[in-house]
Structure 1
Amino acid sequence: MSSAISFDHLFRLTDGIGLFEHALGSVPRREHGYCVDDVARGLVVLTREPSPGVDLVRLLERYLAFVLAAQAVDGAVHNRRDSDGRWRDDPGLGDCWGRALWGLGTAAASAPTRRLRASARAGFLASAGRRSPWPRAMTFAALGAGEVLLAHPDDEPARALLTAAVEVIGPVGANPSWPWPEPTLRYANGAVPEALILAGMCLPDKVVLANGLRLLAWLLQVETRDGNLSPTPVGGRRQGGDPGPGFDQQPIEAAAIADACARAHAATGRKRWLTGLGRAHGWFLGDNDSSMALLNPDTGGCYDGLEPGGRNLNQGAESTLALLSTTQHARRLLASTP
């Protein structure tokens, strides 16, 4: 199973302002502009890269500057920016706020230079005092807060944000057939157990950690079909609904599973979580419900979705970052695994 990484397509999608959201095939669709959701994901991926070269550090600097520019003085965050550099929406506390904190917190903990870490931490603190009413936004924010706490265990704003996120995510249900804290599996589902696992590690809280691990084990069971990952499709999945496979399947789902499994392995050291990571990585390479690879080896990009008999041939930012993130985990944790 190949774990080679190419950032070629990420460079192709990036200009002097930021990371273009959409592509037509492999060509950036400049008319659609940029979004913080993707640039913050890019910040996470670049921060995770070990020993990045000068070109990747410069890219990281550009993404960090983009996210910092999106912050309003009250800590809310813009999301949409056009190709002329103008913000096209009002700042808010939705997913883009949560993902901005995820990117900033990850960079504050692990960016390759002291200057970048300090800049990211200042940005994290500028938004960490806010709270979102939306569980998924708080879930993403929790991932950033946890990264800060792993590096700075005494950081009280990060601790308060992570504690609040656990409360907003809600209790894990007692019903073994549906312990999920929401009535529907929606999007980036793996981020929910990962946030709980990270909170259990950092707060620390053994009950929260156990709940996160239980949710992840259940999610892997629900999203495995014939030994391969079969992610929740765009339309979601309700309790008692069609067991699948469902389409179209998005790369972000496989990447969220990979993130959660890598986190669970860090928390427990158990090899069972590497099996889940391997399924997520394999999904990109053709071990999926359509037996089609999502990786485009010619561009280094990732196709935007898996359909019943094919692929969405566009290679946008979200998909490509999902591939890169999952491949990073596979390279680090699976390369030496028999």
Structure 2
Amino acid sequence: MSGPDFAHLIRLSDDTGLYEHAEGPSPRREHGYCLDDVARGLVVLSREPQLSTELADLADNYLAFIAYAQTEDGRFHNRLGPGRTWQDEPGLGDWWGRALWGLGTAAARCSLPWIREAALECFDRSAHHRPPSVRTMAFAALGAAEVLTADPVHASAAALLGDIPSHVGKPRPDANWPWPENRLFYANAVLPEALIAAGDLLADDKVRDDGLRLLDWLLTVESFDLHLSPVPTGGWFLGEPRPAFDQQPIEVAAMADACARAYRITADPAWLAGVHRCIAWFNGDNDLGSLMHDEQTGGGYDGLTPTGPNINQGAESTLALISTTQHLRTLLRSTG
């Protein structure tokens, strides 16, 4: 695996958005689109230093989808049917958090200035909400961190990021289970990453160090013999069997993002090793020794089951693959 391959993302996309599901590499058009995936698509495109004409068109389409999903009061629809009609009411679920993550990343990083401007306008329309879900807030906090990195005096981004420590909570005093929840669920590393970002950008060393402590513990419990062994879809608590399945690429991508941020802030090579462990998971250094991407299509496999990969190549898994491989740049810079 070299750098990110966008071929399958292009295959899953059309002039409306990004198809959620695939059968093998073929889009399941009958299942329609979801904002969750389109927002993640905007994140990875905005991280690219330069966009080809084809990828620039994708970024335009993804931003237009997010803007279409947004209501005047800053909530979002999530699911758009194949007939281009919304299949849900607007709300503040995880898709709201991921939308702000995508918008914040585009506003701060996208190489196309008109996308930066439009994305920031959409971000500002939604940033006043405070949903109760900790992961929803953590996704949004990552978008706020991007905005604040580009504009350190941006008020609504600072307010949103400043509220994340109270949503995540403090590490527990139990060294065996410092995690602030009673169970590990999904995309777990987004919680410590949000704390690390908040502590760094808002100059709160205690919050930053709480995030680093939680991430260190999470990387330890999600590893076995120096390879990544993510918690399964049903979650995990102490004493439950491991390895466990199905393992989801989103868990690996969240860990890669968090370790990359921790490395940028601390320059501790242990975090660089964590990034490498995540990339290696996709390349077969996992509990079954299975390659987790299709080398011909560029698609990511939908999960690691007890008998091997789920070879469907949907949007979430493909974006997790792209997001993780984008961190190869971090590895190359550190060794260059």
Q: Structure 1 length as normaliser, TM-score?
A: 0.97
Is contact 1:190–1:253 with CA below 8 Å preserved after alignment? Answer: yes
Answering whether residue 318 of structure 2 is matched by residue 320 of structure 1, we say yes
More divergent stretch after superposition (45-54 vs 213-222):
45-54
Answering whether residue 199 of structure 2 is matched by residue 200 of structure 1, we say yes
**Which residue in 1 is equivalent to 2:265?**
267
In 1, Cα distance between the equivalents of 2:167 and 2:43? 23
- SS of equivalent to 1:311: strand
In 1, Cα distance between the equivalents of 2:28 and 2:295? 21
In 2, Cα distance between the equivalents of 1:236 and 1:53? 39
Is contact 2:48–2:110 with CA below 8 Å preserved after alignment? Answer: no
**Which residue in 1 is equivalent to 2:124?**
125
In 2, Cα distance between the equivalents of 1:13 and 1:193? 31
Structure 1 runs of 4+ aligned residues shifted over 3 Å read none
Task: Kindly state the Cα deviation for residue 198 of structure 1 after the two structures are TM-superposed.
Answer: 0.5
Is contact 2:276–2:331 with CA below 8 Å preserved after alignment? Answer: no
Q: Structure 2 length as normaliser, TM-score?
A: 0.98
RMSD: 1.1
In 2, Cα distance between the equivalents of 1:35 and 1:241? 36
**Which residue in 2 is equivalent to 1:138?**
137
In 1, Cα distance between the equivalents of 2:92 and 2:249? 24
Is contact 1:3–1:331 with CA below 8 Å preserved after alignment? Answer: no
**Which residue in 1 is equivalent to 2:210?**
211
**Which residue in 2 is equivalent to 1:280?**
278
Answering whether residue 218 of structure 2 is matched by residue 228 of structure 1, we say no
Is contact 1:3–1:335 with CA below 8 Å preserved after alignment? Answer: no
Task: Kindly state the Cα deviation for residue 336 of structure 1 after the two structures are TM-superposed.
Answer: 5.4
What is the number of equivalent residue pairs in this alignment? 336
Is contact 1:172–1:180 with CA below 8 Å preserved after alignment? Answer: yes
In 1, Cα distance between the equivalents of 2:32 and 2:165? 33
Task: Kindly state the Cα deviation for residue 54 of structure 1 after the two structures are TM-superposed.
Answer: 1.4
Task: Kindly state the Cα deviation for residue 201 of structure 1 after the two structures are TM-superposed.
Answer: 1.0
Task: Kindly state the Cα deviation for residue 308 of structure 1 after the two structures are TM-superposed.
Answer: 1.8
The answer for unaligned runs of 5 or more in structure 2 is none
Answering whether residue 274 of structure 2 is matched by residue 253 of structure 1, we say no
In 1, Cα distance between the equivalents of 2:239 and 2:265? 32
Structure 1 residues 273-320: Cα deviation after superposition (integer angstroms, max 9, x where no partner): 010001100000000001001010011001100012211110000000
Listed as ranges, the matches of 1:77-116 within 5 Å are: 77-116=76-115
**Which residue in 1 is equivalent to 2:294?**
296
Is contact 2:259–2:275 with CA below 8 Å preserved after alignment? Answer: yes
**Which residue in 1 is equivalent to 2:46?**
47
Answering whether residue 171 of structure 2 is matched by residue 172 of structure 1, we say yes
In 1, Cα distance between the equivalents of 2:169 and 2:115? 34
